[in-house]
């Protein structure tokens, strides 16, 4: 899949006017001692460049003949023996189409000149205080030359106001990568369903799924997987994945891969023994009906609030029918008593980040969805073992069903529709 990074940069440059955009790379993170965590580039920087090395800074200058500068590590044969090849200054120009490239060690020296006569600076303050100092010092150096006729950025604006608005709506090539991530994630969930057996451990299911991700060419997980059986399925962000599964358990698996820097995010809940019990099925069918209602509500112009409300109404009625809350339905909705069992939102944006960028509210009002936005739809019901007032037969049951959904003018296109979720299809996949 070829991505036109130059076109992406040009869209941002057109929006900049005479401003400057500055994006530092994601930092290296130490795991322990001198061992680093796996590196993943800052999504904004990668979105505009395709450059994935640490210790780098991207600079775009609106209205300039050479608008794109990249600061990066120099070639270092000794370090490259240990860490792998670097692009270096020449590679930044040849392979990543930078108009100018400089060693990262020259950033403090070069930055003031790059900021001269800029009307504003798009830069995220507060994320890296040491880098903030570099930026503010550079602005001060330009300000000190005011008597020479130079101007400087008089305001610093979060780059999200430009870059994230472009990232929010997915282009054709982005959707192709997301569809591939969805396909790989589908195969992993099918493998997980087949691997879930009584007396196996949660991490065995996780391992099978991770193998599918890597064998299919996914670079990494999109997020830490949740593989929660029995009471663990009621813990929203359960991560230990170390319980021995029992016959009759439900297993909630929330896992997705990242492919080409784009994420999939899928949750399925299924019976370890291959068949839902009566109470499990009752809860599951409420959640499934809620998800279907929300997916049916998805279309351009609709808000995430409206999609969430569609799930809430179905879940509230279902809980009322099971005797888990007291009605009437409008009272349940008004007092939000359903939140004891359904406490999170139904949707979030999806893209390069699993919780992707983009404003949810504009001027205090819920923002309507645009064609090309991808969201998750993930209602759930979670009845803790010790849930006071819950009928005994429903305690310890946790169910979430999540799909990745593309917004279209006509409605929803479910990117993950091939992952089984009807009761019959799930039981067949677990057989």
Q: What is the pLDDT of residues 60-104, one digit of tens each?
A: 999 999 999 999 999 999 999 999 999 999 999 999 999 999 999
| Structure-token pair, residue 148 | 């020479």
| Structure-token pair, residue 27 | 């930092």
| Structure-token pair, residue 353 | 């980040």
Check if 166 is active-site: no
- Mean pLDDT over each residue of the chain, to the nearest integer: 97
Catalytic residue among 189, 243, 268, 400: 400
Check if 183 is active-site: no
Q: Where are the beta strands (DSSP E) in 178-280?
A: 220-221, 226-229, 250-255, 257-259, 262-263, 266-271
pLDDT in tens, 12-48: 999 999 999 999 999 999 999 989 999 999 999 999 9
Check if 189 is active-site: no
Q: What is the mean pLDDT of the segment spanning 228-238?
A: 97
Cβ atoms 118, 153 nearer than 8 A: yes
| Structure-token pair, residue 17 | 């006017």
The predicted model scores a pTM of 0.96
Distance CA 75, CA 166 (A): 33
Cα 4–7–12 angle (5° rounding)? Answer: 135
Catalytic residue among 79, 127, 239, 355: 355
**What percent of the chain has a predicted confidence (pLDDT) above 70?**
100
pLDDT in tens, 309-332: 999 999 999 999 999 999 899 999
Q: Choose among 102, 101, 110, 119: nearest CA to 141.
A: 110
Check if 344 is active-site: yes
Please give the pLDDT value at position 1: 67
Please give the pLDDT value at position 330: 96
Cβ atoms 16, 60 nearer than 8 A: yes
pLDDT in tens, 332-384: 999 999 999 999 999 999 999 999 999 999 999 999 999 999 999 999 999 99
Distance CA 254, CA 419 (A): 12
Q: Tell me which H or E stretch contains 407.
A: strand 403-407
Residue 237 has pLDDT above 70, yes or no: yes
Cβ atoms 264, 416 nearer than 8 A: yes
Question: Where are the domain boundaries for CATH 3.90.230.10 in the chain?
Answer: 169-430
Q: DSSP 3-state assignment of 210?
A: helix
Residue 138 has pLDDT above 90, yes or no: yes
Q: Choose among 313, 247, 317, 230: nearest CA to 282.
A: 317
Residues with Cβ < 8 Å from 184, sequence gap 6 or more?
212, 213, 216, 217, 218, 257, 259, 264
Q: Hey, how many other C-beta atoms are within 10 angstroms of the C-beta on 73? A: 20
Q: Choose among 226, 229, 230: nearest CA to 239.
A: 226
Q: Does domain 169-430 have CATH number 3.90.230.10?
A: yes
Distance CA 431, CA 429 (A): 6
Catalytic residue among 42, 52, 174, 254: 254
Q: Hey, how many other C-beta atoms are within 10 angstroms of the C-beta on 128? A: 13
Residue 431 has pLDDT above 90, yes or no: no
pLDDT in tens, 400-412: 999 999 999 989 9
Catalytic residue among 34, 199, 392, 410: 34
For residues 130, 135, 140 and 146, what is the CA-based torsion angle, rounded to 10 degrees? 180
Q: DSSP 3-state assignment of 377?
A: strand
Distance CA 375, CA 220 (A): 20
Q: What is the mean pLDDT of the segment spanning 184-190?
A: 98
Is omega for the bond preceding 344 within 30 degrees of 0, making it cis?
no
Catalytic residue among 382, 394, 404, 427: 382
Cβ atoms 37, 72 nearer than 8 A: no
pLDDT in tens, 260-302: 999 999 999 999 999 999 999 999 999 999 999 999 999 999 9
Per-position b or e across 181-220, b if 16+ CB within 10 A of its CB:
bbbbbbbbbbbbbebbeeebebebbbebbbebbeebebee
Distance CA 137, CA 105 (A): 15
Cβ atoms 316, 379 nearer than 8 A: no
Catalytic residue among 44, 206, 249, 265: 265
Q: If you ran DSSP here, which 8-state letter would residue 358 be given?
A: S
Check if 378 is active-site: yes
Would you place residue 148 in the very low, low, confident or very high pLDDT band (cuts 50, 70, 90)? confident
Q: If you ran DSSP here, which 8-state letter would residue 196 be given?
A: -
Check if 37 is active-site: no
Check if 348 is active-site: yes
Please give the pLDDT value at position 184: 98
Tell me which CATH code domain 5-166 carries.
Answer: 3.40.350.10
Distance CA 302, CA 71 (A): 42
Q: Choose among 212, 209, 193: nearest CA to 250.
A: 193
C-alpha pair distances (Å), 4 with each of 50, 56, 118, 325: 9, 21, 27, 53
Check if 34 is active-site: yes
Distance CA 89, CA 74 (A): 6
Q: What would you report as the CA-atom Rg of the chain, rounded to the nearest whole angstrom?
A: 25
Catalytic residue among 37, 79, 237, 359: 237
Question: Where are the domain boundaries for CATH 3.40.350.10 in the chain?
Answer: 5-166
Q: What is the mean pLDDT of the segment spanning 139-151?
A: 90
């Amino acid at each position: 899949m070829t991505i036109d990074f130059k076109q992406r940069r040009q869209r941002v440059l057109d929006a900049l006017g005479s401003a400057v955009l500055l994006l530092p790379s994601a930092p290296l993170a130490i795991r322990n001692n001198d061992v680093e965590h796996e590196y993943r580039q800052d999504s904004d920087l990668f979105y505009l460049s395709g450059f994935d090395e640490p210790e780098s800074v991207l600079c775009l200058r609106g209205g300039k003949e050479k608008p794109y500068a990249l600061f990066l590590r120099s070639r270092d044969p000794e370090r490259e023996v240990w860490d792998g090849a670097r692009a270096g200054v020449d590679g930044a120009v040849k392979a990543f189409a930078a108009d100018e490239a400089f060693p990262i060690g020259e950033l403090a020296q070069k930055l003031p000149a790059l900021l001269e006569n800029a009307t504003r600076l798009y830069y995220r303050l507060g994320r890296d205080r040491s880098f903030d100092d570099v930026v503010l010092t550079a602005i001060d150096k330009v300000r000190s030359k005011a008597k020479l006729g130079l101007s400087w950025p008089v305001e610093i604006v979060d780059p999200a106001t430009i870059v994230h608005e472009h990232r929010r709506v997915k282009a054709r090539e982005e959707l192709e990568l997301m569809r591939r991530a969805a396909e790989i994630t589908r195969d992993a969930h099918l493998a997980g369903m087949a691997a879930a057996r009584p007396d196996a451990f949660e991490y065995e299911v996780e391992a099978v799924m991770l193998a599918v991700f890597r064998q299919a060419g996914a670079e990494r997980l999109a997020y830490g997987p949740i593989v929660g059986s029995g009471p663990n399925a009621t813990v929203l962000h359960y991560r230990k994945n170390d319980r021995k599964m029992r016959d009759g358990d439900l297993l909630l698996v929330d896992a997705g891969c990242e492919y080409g820097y784009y994420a999939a995010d899928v949750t399925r809940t299924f019976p370890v023994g291959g068949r839902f019990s009566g109470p499990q099925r009752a809860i599951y069918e409420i959640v499934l009906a809620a998800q279907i209602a929300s997916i049916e509500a998805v279309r351009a112009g609709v808000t995430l609030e409206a999609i969430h409300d569609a799930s809430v109404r179905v879940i509230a009625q279902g809980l009322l029918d099971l005797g888990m809350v007291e009605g009437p339905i409008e009272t349940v909705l008004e007092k939000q008593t359903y939140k004891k069992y359904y406490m999170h939102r139904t949707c979030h944006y999806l893209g390069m980040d699993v919780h992707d960028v983009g404003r949810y509210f504009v001027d205090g009002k819920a923002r309507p969805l645009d064609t090309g936005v991808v969201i998750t739809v993930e209602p759930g019901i979670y009845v803790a073992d010790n849930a006071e007032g819950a009928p005994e037969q429903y305690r310890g049951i946790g169910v979430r069903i999540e799909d990745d959904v593309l917004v279209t003018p006509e409605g929803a296109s479910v990117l993950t529709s091939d992952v089984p979720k009807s009761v019959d299809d799930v039981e067949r996949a677990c057989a």
